[in-house]
Amino acid sequence: MTMKVLGIHIGHDSSACLVVDGRIVADVAEERFTRIKHYAGWPLRSIAYCLSAGGLDIEDIDLVAVPSSGPYPELNHLLGLEGDRVEKWSTGRRALEFARRLMKRGTAKPPLYVKAYRLPDHAEIKHVDHHLAHAASAYYTSGFRGKQLIVTLDGAGDGFSTCVWRGQDGKIEPLYRLGTEASLGWFYSNVTEALGWWHGDGEGKTMGLAPYGDPQKVGAALDFFYPKFSGGELVEPHNFGRPYFWNANGAFQWHFDEAGEIQRLVERYGREHIAARAQDVLEEQVMELVLPWLGQEGTNHLSCAGGVFLNVKLNQRLWESGKLEYQHIYPNAGDGGLAVGAALYAYFEANPDAPIPGLEHLYLGPEYSNEEIKAILDARNLAYRLVDDVAGVGAQLLAAGKIVAWFQGRMESGPRALGNRSILMSANKPEYKDIINARVKFREPFRPFCPSLLTEYRESYLVNSREEPFMITSFDVQPEKRDKVPAVVHVDGTARPQTVRREINPCYWSLIHRFGELTGEYMILNTSFNIKGEPIICHPREAIRCFYDSGIDVLILGGVILEKGRL
Q: What is residue 302's three-state secondary structure?
A: strand
452 vs 399, 413, 467, CA distance in Å?
15, 17, 12
Q: What is residue 301's three-state secondary structure?
A: strand
Which residues, 6+ apart, have CB-to-CB distance to 247 below 8 Å?
none
- Which pairing describes strands 450-454 and 498-500: parallel, antiparallel, or unpaired? parallel
Q: What is residue 179's three-state secondary structure?
A: strand
Shortest CA distance to 500 belongs to which of 397, 557, 445, 424?
424
- Where b means 16+ CB within 10 Å and e means fewer, 127-158 reads bbbbbbbbbbbbbbbbebbeebbbbbbbbbbb
Whether 12 sits among the annotated catalytic residues: the reply is yes
Number of C-beta neighbours around residue 442 at 10 A: 13
Shortest CA distance to 65 belongs to which of 141, 4, 145, 153?
4
- Which pairing describes strands 124-127 and 63-66: parallel, antiparallel, or unpaired? parallel
Residue from 9, 12, 199, 361 carrying the catalytic annotation: 12
Q: Can you state the angle between helices 506-519 and 390-399, rounded to 10 degrees?
A: 40
Number of C-beta neighbours around residue 66 at 10 A: 26
| SS3 readout for 419-485 | CCEEEEEECCCCHHHHHHHHHHHCCCCCCCCEEEEEHHHHHHHECCCCCCCCCCCCEEECHHHCCCC
Q: Are the beta carbons of 498 and 418 closer than 8 angstroms?
A: yes
DSSP string, 342-410: HHHHHHHHH-TTS---B----B-S----HHHHHHHHHHTT---EE-S-HHHHHHHHHHTT--EEEE-SS
Q: What is residue 514's three-state secondary structure?
A: helix
486 vs 205, 427, 433, CA distance in Å?
20, 6, 8
Give the separation between CA 537 and CA 292, rounded to whole angstroms.
42
Shortest CA distance to 345 belongs to which of 118, 16, 63?
63
Give the separation between CA 131 and CA 160, rounded to whole angstroms.
7
Q: Are the beta carbons of 237 and 227 closer than 8 angstroms?
A: yes
Q: What amino acid positions are annotated as catalytic residues?
A: 12
